[in-house]
Amino acid sequence: MKKLSPKLSQKLAVSLLTVAMIITLIPVSAIIFIIVKNGISAISWEFLFSMPTQGMRAGGIFPAIVGTIAIVSCSIATALPIGVCAAIYLNEYARDNLLTRIIKLAIVNLAGIPSVVYGLFGLGIFVMFLGFGVSIIAGALTLAIMELPVIITTARSALSNVPNSFREASLALGVSRWQTIRHIVLPNALPGILTGAILSIARVAGETAPILFTAAAFYTPNLPHSVFDQVMALPYHLFIISTQIPNMPKNIIFGTALVLLVMVLSMSLIAIIARIIFRKRRKW
Amino acid sequence: MDEGFFENGEKMEQIEIKDFYLYYGKFCALENINLSIKEKRITSMIGPSGCGKSTLLRSINRINDTIEGVRTTGQIFVNGKNIYDPSYDIDSLRRNIGMVFQRPNPFPISIYKNVSFGLEVNRICSKKSVMNEIVEKSLRDVLLWDEIKDKLKKSALTLTLEQQQRLCIARVIAVKPQVILLDEPCSALDPVATRKIEELMLILKQNYTIVIVTHNMQQAARVSQDTAFMLLGKLIEFNKTSTIFTKPKKKETDDYVSGRFG
């Protein structure tokens, strides 16, 4: 067989890569297009800020929005401090030995566990063993465990991106290791840490399985009063109205999906903008 | 070494290195170093890359401790006390022995805060007026004050490399050390900036003991009074700079300073 000329193979390669890129773009844009097209008619102030009525076939999705925000913010409030502390330990203090390597490997693998397994774990530990019941707190802690690997991994890379020369300069001034971390390393790693935190929120906000057993209610007539209350949550609500309720108006289903999509995408957008601002400011 | 080889007999020994060995894992980077450095003089360490001169310098403030797998034997005495004694407070050692690095490494904060950092974080000084005085004095000492007094709040990264290196020296001076270690402080600078830093070293010598590692033999000849020549982790020869460069005792030293290798 004759070999292709370099020019021709270059052309072929570029067109193959372009086609692959277009193929990946199609489903994403199709999803967004279909959801926006079918759901936009449902969006109104009333839809966003009122309770569902007529067996959820009308009214709004306010409690589900509130529930999702409550669960997600409680989960990040737990996972962020723990994750950042663990990342500091691994990056700044841990010696490179077998134990450390096992821990690092475990963290990476934690990210690969199916989310339904997290849900069952949360049911066993938080709902039953610790007796929180099906509640915001149980769901939030379950999601927090899911967020941890993402937060630890991004925080570690943010910490290790801080040049070592800063650490040396600070230590050489007689500043202790912890003070160096607090005053030099952390402030410079903070934008990266926050970007990771936002991305991990975006990842768990749309999760259904982990909250299915731990936090989500089919329907609640009232908004939650404390973290020990059950709540409605957007992903679970979406699952119910699209599978469990007959004669559900189509635009409400798509409208709910649209709200969830916008919430998650805007969080990713915030992370992207934060990263751009940070890159511009950073000079080292 | 000859008896009475230091003419400035009245000067005290500030740093004394005795039977010092350093290993990176199994690799012996410094072998049986014995060296004494006198106060308020400039001592330079020269030798080809990888000879251990930076490693030796970094042993004097124990910044090598941050590298994993480093092990040492022997002693280094500073003001008569062994800094490798387990009870020795490393943070206070590092305040007493400042260090300036190869590449200027100011913190990405304001010029003022760079200088005040060591004092503020260690809570040595909390009064604003005292702090202002120390910052001004430190910046004056490195001849930087007049250039930057109007932009103390600006980021230190807006300065030129040479100004940054001066700032790094000012940052060290602010915590009032006795010794300043300079690890190839001019290798990132152009010749004009290098000359300015060298002039500064000669001024600082009046108040500080200075140890400088340099790969630039002319620099060692220009600024230092004593010179140590190292090769493959060993101290080959230590003598007055003029002696090292004009009539060295060892053949290796002669070969190196006359440019036959390295």
ipTM of the complex: 0.89
pLDDT at position B3, please?
40
Mutate to test the interface with B, among A175, A180, A184 (most CBs of B within 10 A): A175
- Tell me which amino acid residue B88 is: Y
* Minimum CA–CA partner of A283 in chain B: B157
pLDDT higher at B213 or B66: B213
Predicted confidence (pLDDT) at residue B97 exceeds the cutoff of 50: yes
Contact present, B120 and B101 (Cβ < 8 Å): no
What is the tens place of the pLDDT at every residue in B176-217? 999 999 999 998 888 988 998 999 999 999 999 999 999 888
E strand or H helix at B102: none
Q: Which residues of A touch B171 (CB under 8 A)?
A: 169, 173
- 3-class SS at B211? strand
* Minimum CA–CA partner of A96 in chain B: B68
What residues contact residue B48 under an 8 Å CB cut-off, 6+ apart?
A: B215, B231, B256, B261, B262
Asked if the structure places residue A36 within a domain, the reply is: no
* Minimum CA–CA partner of A92 in chain B: B66
Q: Which residues of B touch A173 (CB under 8 A)?
A: 94-95, 98, 117-118, 122, 171-172, 175
pLDDT at position B2, please?
41
CB-based contact B108 A175, cutoff 8 Å? no
Residues with pLDDT less than 70, chain A:
1, 282-284
CB-based contact A175 B105, cutoff 8 Å? no
Closest chain B C-alpha to A280 CA, distance in angstroms: 13
The whole-angstrom separation of Cα B58 and Cα A84 is 31
By Cβ distance, the residue of A165, A175, A282 closest to B101 is A165
DSSP secondary structure string, B131-171?
A: HHHHHHHHHHHTT-HHHHGGGTTSBGGGS-HHHHHHHHHHH
* Minimum CA–CA partner of B174 in chain A: A173
Q: Give residue A122's domain range.
A: 59-281
The whole-angstrom separation of Cα A30 and Cα A180 is 49
CB-based contact B103 A96, cutoff 8 Å? no
Beta strand residue intervals within chain B, DSSP E: 13-24, 27-38, 42-46, 70-78, 81-82, 97-100, 179-183, 209-213, 226-231, 234-240
pLDDT at position A226, please?
85
Domains in chain B, start-ordered, CATH in brackets? 13-103+179-257 (3.40.50.300)
> Which of B227, B138, B140 lies closest to B177 in space, CA to CA?
B138
pLDDT at position B4, please?
43
By Cβ distance, the residue of B91, B107, B168 closest to A174 is B91
Asked if the structure places residue A52 within a domain, the reply is: no
pLDDT band at B10 (very low <50, low <70, confident <90, very high): low
The whole-angstrom separation of Cα A241 and Cα A248 is 7
CB-based contact B175 A173, cutoff 8 Å? yes
Cα B187 to Cα A68, B165, B181: the distances in Å are 56, 11, 15
CB-based contact A173 B118, cutoff 8 Å? yes
pLDDT at position B5, please?
47
By Cβ distance, the residue of B94, B108, B155 closest to A173 is B94
Query: Strands B226-231 and B42-46, how do they pair?
Result: parallel
By Cβ distance, the residue of A165, A169, A176 closest to B91 is A176
A178: CATH: 1.10.3720.10
Asked if the structure places residue A159 within a domain, the reply is: yes
Instruction: Report the range of poorest mean pLDDT among A49-63, A70-84, B77-91, B147-161.
Output: A49-63
CB-based contact B108 A170, cutoff 8 Å? no
Mutate to test the interface with A, among B57, B67, B91, B172 (most CBs of A within 10 A): B91
What residues contact residue A150 under an 8 Å CB cut-off, 6+ apart?
A: A111, A196, A199, A200, A203
pLDDT at position B1, please?
41
Question: What is the tally of structural domains in chain A?
Answer: 1
pLDDT at position B262, please?
64
* Minimum CA–CA partner of A181 in chain B: B121
CB-based contact B105 A169, cutoff 8 Å? yes
Q: Which residues of A touch B25 (CB under 8 A)?
A: none
Q: Which residues of A touch B157 (CB under 8 A)?
A: 283-284
What is the tens place of the pLDDT at every residue in B221-250? 999 999 999 999 999 999 999 999 999 999
The whole-angstrom separation of Cα A155 and Cα A161 is 10
Cα-Cα-Cα-Cα dihedral sign, residues B176, B180, B184, B189: positive
* Minimum CA–CA partner of B100 in chain A: A169
Q: Is A174 on the interface with B (CB under 8 A)?
A: yes
pLDDT at position A3, please?
78
CB-based contact A96 B98, cutoff 8 Å? no
The whole-angstrom separation of Cα B124 and Cα B131 is 10
CB-based contact B66 A171, cutoff 8 Å? yes
pLDDT at position A283, please?
56
Asked if the structure places residue A77 within a domain, the reply is: yes
